[in-house]
Amino acid sequence: MVCVHHAQLLTFPAHRNKQGQTRLSSYYEWMDMQERVALESEIIRKCLSRSELQCSFLEYRGFKVIYRRYASLFFIVGTKADIDVRALDGSGSIAENYENELGLLEFIHSLVETMDRWAGSICELDIMYQLEQVHFLLDEMVMNGYIVETNKSNILRPIDLIDRESKKTEGMFR
């Protein structure tokens, strides 16, 4: 499962597999470790219990959770929830910015496509074994919670560069 935690946009991206283990998570807002573990397991439990027919949005503990499932991997993005319509009495709502849900779904897809292009067909093990690179890739796309780049070639350029460089200079270590 991929979990993008994004304070403003993505509160946490997390990849999780079907058993609910986190494979990659990145939080853009500080969160206590215990709280984090609890939140992750709660959310993945909720996601797993939902069928294909249900919509990809969840509202949970003040977060809006947007998830998408690719084979056995869940890509989950949490972002701050919009205002609850029922809490408003029509007296004047505050326009609060929240992220466009469909946009985030697009983002997840773009993330997956980028990963695919980088590692062939991405799978759970790829993410686990190359955790650091995946993080780098994610950081290229999302910067402190904002989508900063969606162009695949732009994202992969530094990674390719690094790969080439490291092959050239230090075959012994990497």
Name residues contacting another protein, limited to 87-146 (CB under 8 A): 87-90, 92-97, 100-103, 105-106, 125, 128-129, 131-132, 135-136, 139, 143-144, 146
Q: State the DSSP code for 87.
A: G
State yes or no: residue 67 binds another protein (CB under 8 A). no
Count of Cβ atoms closer than 10 Å to residue 51 Cβ: 5
The closest alpha carbon to 108, from 22, 34, 9, belongs to 9
Q: Which residue in 86, 120, 121, 168 binds another protein (CB under 8 A)?
A: 86
- Give whichever of 57 and 70 is closer to another protein, judged by the CB atom: 57
Q: Distance (Å, rounded) from C-alpha 73 to C-alpha 21? A: 10
* By the rule CB under 8 A, 48 interacts with another protein: no
> Nearest approach, Cβ of 63 to another protein (angstroms)?
9
Is residue 54 involved in binding another protein (CB under 8 A)? yes
Kindly provide the b/e burial profile for residues 93-113, where b requires at least 16 CB atoms within 10 angstroms of the residue's own CB.
eeeeeebebeebbebbebbbe
Enumerate residues 1-30 that contact another protein by CB under 8 A: 7-8, 21-30
* H helix runs in the chain, sequence order: 33-48, 101-119, 124-129, 131-141, 152-169
- Residue 80 touching another protein (CB under 8 A): yes
Binding positions for another protein, 144-163, rule CB under 8 A: 144, 146-150, 154, 158, 161-162
